[in-house]
Amino acid sequence: MTDCPDGLMRDQLPEYVHGTLAAAEAARVDGHLEVCAACREEVALLQTVRAVAAHRTPAMDVAAIVAALPAAPVAIRVMTSRPRWTAVRSWQYAAAAVLLLAVSSTTLWRAPRADGPARLADSTQAPARVGASSDTPAVVAVPARATSGMSFGGGLSDLSLDDLQALLIQMDSVKAVPSSDPAPMTPVIATTEGEKSL
């Protein structure tokens, strides 16, 4: 068997045997095969090779292969989704959250304004004054606004824009980390003649 000198034609023969050539190319190969005995023999050989491969290959059990595959991603999500009782619990949580929000809103709406007594005690201020008479309910009466120092008394929601601005300035002025160097001081010795600085 001598090889056909047309290398490009020979290169197309496997695709021709597979039937994957475009129609025009396949027609060109058909025309060539009519006049080329070497290529006809090669095509016959290619077909025999394919037949040998098919003959020696066992049929695959598709179902067995698929059974060994991992489940599809979304299917995994569905399978591992929370059981029904946890879904019910989620609704309960949601309902509880809504209820809590409603109660909080009502409380805030009924709360006194900033010019009234503050709701929250200010730890930087004087102790709260408790009502004197026993029939007067104990009311925590602390100043609504801090008069000095940094204070959150009354809650941030009660502060005006100016107050918030002032608070931010105060926060900026705070040194979070104290200096490691001790402040300079002048020792004083007390004697019978009085105090004397060194």
Partner 1 sequence: MDLALIARWKGGDQRAATELVQRHAQSLARFAASHGGSDGVDELVQDTFVRAFNSLESFRADSSLRTWLFTILKRLMLDRQRAERRQRNQVELDEGHAVQEFDALDGMVADETMGRVHRAMERLSPLQKSVFTLRVTEGMAYADIARVVESTEGACRVHYHNAMRAIKEYLRDD
Question: Residue 129 phi/psi, 5° resolution?
Answer: -95, 130
Which of 64, 174, 176, 183 forms a contact with partner 1 (CB under 8 A)? 64
Q: Is 132 in the site for partner 1 (CB under 8 A)?
A: no
Name the one range near partner 1 by CB under 8 A: 43-51, 101-109, 174-182, 189-197: 43-51
Kindly state the DSSP code that residue 188 receives in the 8-state scheme: E
Using CA atoms, how far apart are residues 159 and 164, in angstroms rounded to an integer?
6
Using CA atoms, how far apart are residues 89 and 6, in angstroms rounded to an integer?
77
Q: Is 124 in the site for partner 1 (CB under 8 A)?
A: no
Which of 27, 37, 52, 130 forms a contact with partner 1 (CB under 8 A)? 52
Query: Cβ 34 to partner 1, closest distance in Å?
Result: 21
Q: Is 9 in the site for partner 1 (CB under 8 A)?
A: no
User: Looking at beta carbons only, is 53 or 190 nearer to partner 1?
Assistant: 53
Q: Is 70 in the site for partner 1 (CB under 8 A)?
A: yes
Name the one range near partner 1 by CB under 8 A: 54-62, 134-142, 151-159, 186-194: 54-62
Q: Is 1 in the site for partner 1 (CB under 8 A)?
A: yes
Helix (H) or strand (E) holding 29: helix 23-35
Closest by CA position to 198, among listed 155, 190, 181, 80: 190
Using CA atoms, how far apart are residues 150 and 126, in angstroms rounded to an integer?
14
CB 108 within 8 A of CB 137: no
What is the token pair recorded at 145? 């606004």
Binding site for partner 1 (CB under 8 A): 1, 3, 10-11, 14-15, 17-18, 20, 42, 45-46, 48-66, 68-75, 77-78
